[in-house]
Each structure stands twice: as structure tokens, then as C-alpha cells.
Amino acid sequence: MVPSSLHEIWVYLAASPLLALTLTLIAYQIGAFLYRRAGMNPLLNPVMIAVLLLVGILLVTGTSYQTYFEGAQFVHFLLGPATVALAIPLYRQLRHIRRSGAAIGAALLLGSLTAAASAIGIAWALGASTEVVVSIAPKSVTAPVAMGISKELGGLPSLTAVLVILTGIIGAALGPPLLNLLRIRDMRARGLAMGTASHGIGTARALQVSEVAGAFAGLAMGLNALATALLLPLLWKLVFG
């Protein structure tokens, strides 16, 4: 049992945004520390660790998500400006776009459609609810944009955030062995595939393999976010609207 005085202190602190904000930063840094310690093993993704820690704390202390979010919203707010800032790395890849633009554009569009259509199709065929189907549709898109798309289409942005992270981990862990199996050695193709399918987490993994792969993965992440944000809502309206 928690002594009542300690409990009172907790109730006092839990009511101010400072506690949730500080805990979020601490949990993330614990996650980042463990991830680095494990040699950047994709299975020990820092976001996943932070989320598990914080969910555990909320469950143990009986704190509602709403109370937590009052503090954590200050971190959450930065997603918007961070999305705008993605214009800078995208601009830095401009020479790559110019050099093999047609091939990149065509491969990316095909990959982008495959990512959304196969996720929707498989989830729907296996009997997922509409909410889940919508939330899983932008799973390959970088989290801030994916959450925006999910919200636009009537999905659950927080579920999308978790599905996006899981997708990144799956792609980072299984992507390289799959590409080896398919005997694809072109680093541009490998990077483009990793970035399209598993956004920033896949990009980080591609960057460990080669700089060219990393650059193409970063480019693919940005372009896929753009393509999905522009096309998915329109296609969705066309098919299900």
C-alpha cells in the first residue's frame, strides 16, 4: 500500500502538466539508452520501450490517459512543426530526385499504393472493423503524417501511431533479409523500399547498411508521406465514399 501522504503528493503532482511531461522525456531517454546499448537492435525501438513504460505507470497508478495527455500535449504539439520541417531533408535529396526521378516516382507510387491497398485488403478480409481498417491504412507513412491521415479519414490517430511504430520495427527487422533473399543488391532500390515500407525506423536501418541506401530511404519516407497524404483520402472517398 502507498502511504496516504505519498499518495497525496502523487495526486498533487499528477494534476500538473509537469509530471507527465517529465515522465515522457525520462521514459524516452531510458528507451534510447537501451536501444543504443543493444547495438540499435530494431526490436528494442526506443518509442516502443517508452510507450510500454508509460502505459505501465498509468495502469499501476490508475491515472487516466486524459490526465497524462494534459502534460504530454506539449510534446505532441511539436509533431506539426516537425512535419513542416521534413521539407528540409526532402530538399537536400533534390539532386537524387533529379537524377533518377522517373524511376523513383514510378517505383514509389507503386510501393505507396501496395502499402495502403494491401494493409486495407488484408485487414478487411480477416474481418477487422472499419475503425481498424482506416487506422492501419497509412501504417507505412511517418507517424505525424499518418496520424493526420487517420484523423482525416475517421480512424483512431493513437492506434495509427502504434501501428506505424510496429510497421517500422517489422520492416527494419525483416526488410534486409527479405531483400537478400530476393537478391536485390542495388542500394538505391534497397533504400527506396525500406523508406517506403517502414518510414523513419526503416530509414535508420538502411543508413546502417549504406549511405546511398539511407539517402534513398529518407527520400522515400518523405515522398511516400506526401503521396499517401494526397492520394489515400481521395482514393478512400472514391471507393468507400
CB of 5 to another protein, least distance (A): 28
| Window 73 to 112, contacts with another protein (CB under 8 A) | 73, 75-76, 78-92, 94, 100, 102-104, 106-108, 110-111
- The cell numbers describing 214, all together, are 539511407
| Window 27 to 56, contacts with another protein (CB under 8 A) | 27-28, 46-48, 50-51, 54-55
Residue 194 interacting with another protein (CB under 8 A): yes
Residue 14 interacting with another protein (CB under 8 A): no
Give one DSSP letter per residue of 126-175, joined into a string: TT--HHHHHHHTTTTS-HHHHHHHHHHTT--HHHHHHHHHHHHHHHHHHH
CB closer to another protein out of 10 and 109 = 109
Q: How far apart are CA 218 and CA 93, in angstroms?
A: 8
How many residues interact with another protein (rule CB under 8 A)?
Answer: 114
Cα angle for residues 232, 120, 85 (degrees, 5° grid): 40
Tally the residues of the chain.
241
Residue 230 interacting with another protein (CB under 8 A): yes
Residue 215 interacting with another protein (CB under 8 A): no
- The answer to whether the CB of 236 falls within 8 A of the CB of 156 is no
CB closer to another protein out of 19 and 145 = 145
Query: Which stretch in 5-13, 36-44, 147-155 sits in contact with another protein by CB under 8 A?
Result: 147-155
Residue 115 interacting with another protein (CB under 8 A): yes
- The answer to whether the CB of 198 falls within 8 A of the CB of 172 is yes
Q: How far apart are CA 57 and CA 13, in angstroms?
A: 14
Residue 17 interacting with another protein (CB under 8 A): no
CB of 129 to another protein, least distance (A): 7
